[in-house]
């Protein structure tokens, strides 16, 4: 069985990730338009009919922009906690009852051949979750919006073979940038986003041979660049004497176009 991962879009303007094999797959978040999701899937040769559901991390628009149209036009079930559903559903954002699936926190459920567990992360939405997804002996963890890595989330992140972790802003760029003080404080807070140095330091603490793919995600448009993300992690690893083996790969996920397809099982 193959297992492929692709980020269709990652960043403060929209998030959507694909995970699947030749027969079935899932999406994580639908933060770009349904049209873009369908186009990007076509671009990487994934038939829409193989998508069995979409997992939703929280109610911010960069994670649900395409959800209503995607679920309606493709009759696609969407999975998140009851608290997050309450924060998403409104007279403006009507999702067909047939597509709504409630999932518990920290309790495995099964979808499209995957064992999936949602875990809580600290972020400024009514509730925000990450996903830990297991298939065969592979473990994938996705945590894209979190102000710090709390004790509950850390074990799910540490267990991953493929990790999608936010590296949202360069600390210096944010500090010197044009954002008003309250917004800077929000982003830097424990319920905001992870900065490049925070993410790199955490990764340096937890890295082991089993972590084969580090995907740095959810880059800010105004307060970060892919070059700074890469520089920061390389510098941190160098200072800590960490040398990656030739099976280990760092990817910086594109903001507006799909990433390369990562083949976890060939």
Q: Where does this chain bind Zn ion (CB under 5 A)?
A: 60, 62, 145
Q: How far is the CB of 13 from Zn ion (least distance, A)?
A: 9
Q: How far is the CB of 53 from Zn ion (least distance, A)?
A: 20
Rounded CA-CA distance 246/67 in Å is: 38
**Which is nearer to Zn ion, 76 or 129 (by Cβ)?**
129
22 vs 43, 147, 150, 188, 230, CA distance in Å?
15, 35, 35, 40, 31
Q: How far is the CB of 211 from Zn ion (least distance, A)?
A: 23
Q: How far is the CB of 1 from Zn ion (least distance, A)?
A: 31
Q: How far is the CB of 121 from Zn ion (least distance, A)?
A: 10
Q: How far is the CB of 185 from Zn ion (least distance, A)?
A: 16
**Which is nearer to Zn ion, 9 or 158 (by Cβ)?**
9
**Which is nearer to Zn ion, 68 or 145 (by Cβ)?**
145
**Which is nearer to Zn ion, 64 or 112 (by Cβ)?**
64
**Three-class secondary structure assignment of the chain:** CCEEEEEEECCCCCCEEEEECCCCEEEECCCCCHHHHHHHHHHCCCCHHHEEEEECCCCCHHHHCCHHHHHHHHCCCEEECHHHHHHHCCCCCCCCHHHEEECCCCCCEEECCEEEEEEECCCCCCCCEEEEEEECCEEEEEECCCCCCCCCCHHHHHCCCEEEEECCECHHHHHHCCCCHHHHHHHHCCCCCCEHHHHHHHHHHHCCCCCCEEEEECCCCCCCCHHHHHHHHHHHHHHCCCCCCCCCEEEECCCCCCCCCEEEEC
**Which is nearer to Zn ion, 121 or 135 (by Cβ)?**
121
Q: How far is the CB of 110 from Zn ion (least distance, A)?
A: 27
**Which is nearer to Zn ion, 142 or 264 (by Cβ)?**
142
Angle between helices 196-206 and 226-239 (to 10 degrees): 40
**Which is nearer to Zn ion, 62 or 68 (by Cβ)?**
62
């Amino acid at each position: 069985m193959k297992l492929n991962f692709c980020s269709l879009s990652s960043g403060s303007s929209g998030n959507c990730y694909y995970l699947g094999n030749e027969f079935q797959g899932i999406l994580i978040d639908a933060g770009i338009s349904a049209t873009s999701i369908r186009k990007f899937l076509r671009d990487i040769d994934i038939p829409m009919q193989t998508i069995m559901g979409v997992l939703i991390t929280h109610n911010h628009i960069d994670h649900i922009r395409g959800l209503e149209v995607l679920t309606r036009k493709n009759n696609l079930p969407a999975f998140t906690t009851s608290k997050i559903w309450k924060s998403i559903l409104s007279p403006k954002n009507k999702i067909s009852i047939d597509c709504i699936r409630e999932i518990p926190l920290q309790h495995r459920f099964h979808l499209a051949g995957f064992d999936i567990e949602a875990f809580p992360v600290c972020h400024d939405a009514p509730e925000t979750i990450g996903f830990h997804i297991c298939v065969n002996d592979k473990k994938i963890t996705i945590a894209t919006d979190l102000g710090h890595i709390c004790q509950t989330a850390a074990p799910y992140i540490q267990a991953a073979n493929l990790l999608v972790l936010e590296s949202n802003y360069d600390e210096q760029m944010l500090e010197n940038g044009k954002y008003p003080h309250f917004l800077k404080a929000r982003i830097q807070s424990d319920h905001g986003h992870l900065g490049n140095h925070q993410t790199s330091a955490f990764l340096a603490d937890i890295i082991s041979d089993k972590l084969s793919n580090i995907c740095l995600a959810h880059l800010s448009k105004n307060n970060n660049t892919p070059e700074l993300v890469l520089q920061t992690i390389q510098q941190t690893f160098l200072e800590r004497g960490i040398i990656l083996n030739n099976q280990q790969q760092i990817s910086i996920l594109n903001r507006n176009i799909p990433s390369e397809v990562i083949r976890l099982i060939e």
